Structure formats: structure tokens, C-alpha cells
Amino acid sequence: MTEETPRKRVRDPEAHRAAILDAARRAFAEHGYDRATIRDIAARAGVTHGLVMRHFGSKEQLFIAAVPGPRDLADVLPGDPATLPERVAAAFVERMENADHADPFITLVRSAPSREKAAKLYDEMRRASLDPYLASVTGPDAEERVDLLAAHLIGVTFSRYVVRSEPLATMSPERLTDHLARTLRAILLG
């Protein structure tokens, strides 16, 4: 008989964090916020429930970390203010089109009207996104315009990706990006 040596635990916090976030995105998209569980997310990521909690503290904080938001804005917002609407529109459409209708943001929009918890999560996401936007959007009414931008994108998300109303649902991504860039220009730049 040969003795098996115990498997050494690999300590790679960044790899574990990335695996947890990937698993969380998939679980939230498949099951929605309410039905996704930390235990399922941990199993998908190949880590323990305790490690998920150590990294994120709560299901709410994990959701906020998993949903694209302020981290993605760092790639989109910097640059010429005159082209900000086009960059935001292109990033939004690209993200939603590549999500295959399984983006956690779509899940949140789908469940927000009937769930107080979803509405609170949306508000936390909004607050986390506000500062990065305010670094690019200036003026005395900048916060109001950023909130209008969010409301507009939520409406597009609901119409195109949740209820799939026509003609928005079948509009080409390029045409949607063009329309969004024009409306976002009016909101962001006046």
C-alpha cells in the first residue's frame, strides 16, 4: 500500500477571488439574486463558503462586486469629454449583447420592481458608480444628469433585454449604439 500525501492547499487569494466572482455572475444570472446561494457559488468556484464570506462579507457585497459597474467604468470614462456619450453607449451595448440575456444587471432590473432587496442593491450600485461618473461629467447639475443616464440605461435594459419590446428588441447593436450615443449626448453634455 502506498500512502497518499495530503494535497497541499494552494493560497492564491486573487485567483480565488476571480473564481468566486465568475461563479457569482453565473449563479446570479441563472437563478436571480434571491435564489442564488453562497454555498452554490462557493461550490462552482471550488472554494469554501467561509472563503467567499471572508472575501466579500455578505451576499449583497458579493453581488455588487460581481455586477459590472465602477470597475468597468475605469476603462470607459477617461478620455475626451466630447466622446463620452459614444464610449458609454458602445460599452453598454457591447456588455449587454455579449451577456446572452444572462447579465446580473438584467436580473436586477427584472426583479427590482417586486423586491425591496433588489431596489436597495440597485441603489448601492448607483452610489458606487456615481463618483467615477462625476470625475468625467461636470457642472452644477452633474449628479442629476448621471442619474438620468442611469434611468435611461435601465429603461433600455428593461425594454430590450427583459420584456424584449419591438422595435428595440430586434434593432441591430450598431443602430442601438448610435441611438444611445445621441440620447446620452443630450443627457451628459446638454
Residue 74 lies in a domain: yes
Residue 159 lies in a domain: yes
Q: What is the pLDDT of residue 6?
A: 54
Give the pLDDT band (50/70/90) at residue 106.
confident
**Do 40 and 77 have their domain in common?**
no
Q: What is the pLDDT of residue 10?
A: 59
Q: What is the pLDDT of residue 175?
A: 96
The one-letter amino acid at 157: T
Mean of the pLDDT values across residues 31-51? 89
Mean of the pLDDT values across residues 85-95? 90
* Host domain of residue 156: 70-189
Give the pLDDT band (50/70/90) at residue 115.
low
Q: What is the pLDDT of residue 75?
A: 82
CATH code assigned at 107: 1.10.357.10
pLDDT at 69 exceeding the cut of 90: no
Lowest mean pLDDT among 21-35, 95-109, 155-169: 95-109
Closest to 156 measured CA to CA, from 177, 132, 133? 177
Is 50 within 8 Å of 111 (Cβ atoms)? no
pLDDT at 27 exceeding the cut of 80: yes
Verdict on whether the full-model pTM lies above 0.85: no
Domain count, the chain: 2
Residue 1 lies in a domain: no
Evaluate the CA torsion angle 185, 187, 188, 190 in order and state its sign: positive
**Cα(187)–Cα(70) distance, rounded to whole angstroms?**
19
- Name residues whose C-beta falls within 8 Å of residue 88's C-beta, 6 or more positions apart in sequence: 76, 77, 149, 180, 184, 188
Residue 184 lies in a domain: yes
CATH code assigned at 23: 1.10.10.60
**Do 121 and 86 have their domain in common?**
yes
Mean of the pLDDT values across residues 143-169? 90
pLDDT at 68 exceeding the cut of 70: no
**Do 47 and 126 have their domain in common?**
no
